[in-house]
A and B are shown apart, each in its own frame.
Chain A
Amino acid sequence: MSTPTTTSAPSPGPTTNEDPTMKRSPSTKNASTTRAVLALAASEVRLLVRNRLVAVTALVIPLITAAGYGASGLRYGDGWGGTVAFMILTMLLLTVYIAATTAVAARRSGLVLKRLRSGETPEWAILVGMLLPTVGLAVIQSVLIAGMFLAYGADLPENPPIVLGAAVGGAVLCAAFALATTRVTATPEMAQVTTMPFFFAALAGAFWITSKPIDEATTLMLVNPGGAVMHLVQGGWDGGGDMLVAAAALVSWTGLAYEIAKRTFTWEPRS
């Protein structure tokens, strides 16, 4: 992603000053980029652990909420899938969407993004490295939530790969929306406000789709991002549902968020 600019400068071809020793092989570049992504991800994990407020919000609250739901026996629908799906979606919104929006806004306002961009790491790799830990954490928490509900007596999921795929897809969706949301999030504090529209829209979609049995969900219910994630997890756990439409909605929303982020993302605080 690039800082938006207007016109291109005239650019003649390489001059005699071009240094031929600068050419690096693709494999060397890939190795460097992979190492950079992992280093950035490790650094983000360290920062997450050291920021107790963010750590508690992202790690503990979703698990406590899930534990409370499991203990209460509250169900959305006939099987356990609806409840598991709702818990996973809530966790994705808290752990990935809000936390990532806050983290990116904080790094940008602290000029960390600008500093990172002054190095040789590609822009996309900087963002992947920053977001990788939250996405990975969300997947781990999904597994923990699923395990928690199994311990409460839930049936084994009908199709675990779909459940896992929905969790991963939902995490990527939330990460993409987080990047898009940073456009209107000048400071980390502002993230508490700017994330609310998508947060509540996704939750509203989730509540809406649970109002019907899984096989009676309408297309309109499925095309909501929250509804799509809910439907995929619930269908993967209990069986049934229209997985294809929900998956297509998930991919489409992710693509839309990516395009918005690509066009509007800024690496420096707006002056």
Chain B
Amino acid sequence: MKTNDRAIEVEGLRATYGKHVAVDGVDLTVHRGELVALLGTNGAGKTTTMETIEGHREAQGGTVRVLGHDPWKDRGEIRPRMGIMLQSSGFAGELTVRETAKLWAKLRSRAGDPDDALERLDLAHRLDVRVKQLSGGEQRRLDMATALLGDPDVLFLDEPSTGLDPQSRRRTWDVIADLVTGGTAVLMTTHYMEEAEKLADRIAILDGGRIARTGTMAELVAGLNGTISFALPDDLDPRTPPPDLPDLAGSVERARDGVVVITTDQLQRDLSVVLGWAADRDLTLERLHASESSLDDVFAGVQA
């Protein structure tokens, strides 16, 4: 990517609440047409990082540039090009969906048609319902619809799919993916590993206000072990690994509740060996599962 494709540039960001340091030395770049996911436990500094980049808070150190501007000082210049979905909706409950969308369209200098945004987020059938009567998931979708008004160049999504049912979540993911394909730079926080794996071009994992790991999904899981697990038939001792299991590249770490777990950096080879061993003994391996390492494993490694 070219240097001037950078929509968000953060260097050495530091944010504090009194004496408490919430964010300490965060570096982050998001290019146009790229989605970067911020992961971390509660209190890791995700929302503070996000809100400082949005210009809601002034940084106590480091530099933040959004579209080349300081988001705190040049708020008036860059906000027309930004879409922000906060962690909580913050809409007046007595207004209807239509009234809320129209209000937000009037608050934007280049809004477009609010009905289009509502249609994209599957809210067209709820136009005359008051916001307080919407489900939590519908309120999140309304929040996203208003954030999309004006086709922002930079989009901030703070836990966008929290409270959504699986169908709505996938639809929301499609909308986000379309925006990224269209060139929007997206910075997103999430607690859902699946969401980050599905959408993110790059992932940054925050821990204690610092970025503990960052990279593409492939980079993050590189060097981590895959896992094979299966349950043995009842007549075999479930407490110990099978003694006649051939040599594996990985380790048979333990057998618990009748399940054997093999951790390996040669997943395919060891899986073939296990399957061959079972076939020779005419064993049926129940609950057989083999998987590459996942973001869950990366995340757990950071927390450990």
Contact = CB atoms under 8 A, between A and B. Distances in A.
Interface stretch (A36-44, A65-73, A138-146, A219-227): A36-44
B101 to A, nearest CB: 12
B303 interface: no
Given A39-B107, A107-B92, A118-B84, A5 B64 contact: no
B93 interface: yes
A7 B106 contact: no
B3 A16 contact: yes
A24 B150 CA distance: 15
Interface stretch (B54-62, B191-199, B223-231, B235-243): B54-62
B77 A43 contact: no
Contact of A121 (B16, B89, B107): B107
A19 B106 CA distance: 24
A14 to B, nearest CB: 6
B70 interface: yes
Interface string A1-29: 00101111111101111110011100011
Contacts, number: 124
A110 B65 contact: no
Contacts of B56: 3, 114, 117-118
Interface residues of A, number: 45
A66 to B, nearest CB: 28
A192 to B, nearest CB: 20
A208 B80 CA distance: 52
A24 B80 contact: yes
B254 interface: no
A29 B75 CA distance: 13
Given A6-B60, A120-B109, A115 B68 contact: no
B103 A10 contact: no
B57 A110 contact: no
Interface stretch (A45-53, A81-89, A171-179): A45-53
A260 interface: no
A39 B77 contact: no
A172 B6 CA distance: 45
A7 B103 CA distance: 35
Contacts of B272: none
A119 interface: yes
A47 B92 contact: yes
Contacts of A28: 109
Given A36-B107, A39-B103, A115-B90, A19 B60 contact: no
Given A46-B95, A47-B94, A112-B91, A120 B79 contact: yes
A193 interface: no
Contact of A7 (B60, B72, B88): B60
B168 interface: no
Among A7, A22, A40, A113, max chain B CB count under 10 A is at A22
A36 B80 CA distance: 13
Contact of A115 (B57, B59, B79, B86): B86
A259 B95 CA distance: 32
A9 B64 contact: yes
B76 A118 contact: no
B58 A8 contact: yes
Contact of B90 (A16, A35, A111): A111
B107 A120 contact: yes
B81 A22 contact: yes
Nearest to A117: B56
A17 B95 contact: no
Contact of A9 (B6, B62, B69): B62
Contacts of B80: 22, 24, 120
B104 interface: yes
B287 interface: no
Contact of A5 (B57, B70, B84, B99): B57
Interface of B: 3-4, 6-7, 9, 16, 54, 56-65, 67-70, 72-73, 75-82, 84, 86, 88-95, 99, 103-104, 106-109, 153
Top-4 shortest CB links A-B: A18-B68, A115-B90, A111-B90, A120-B79
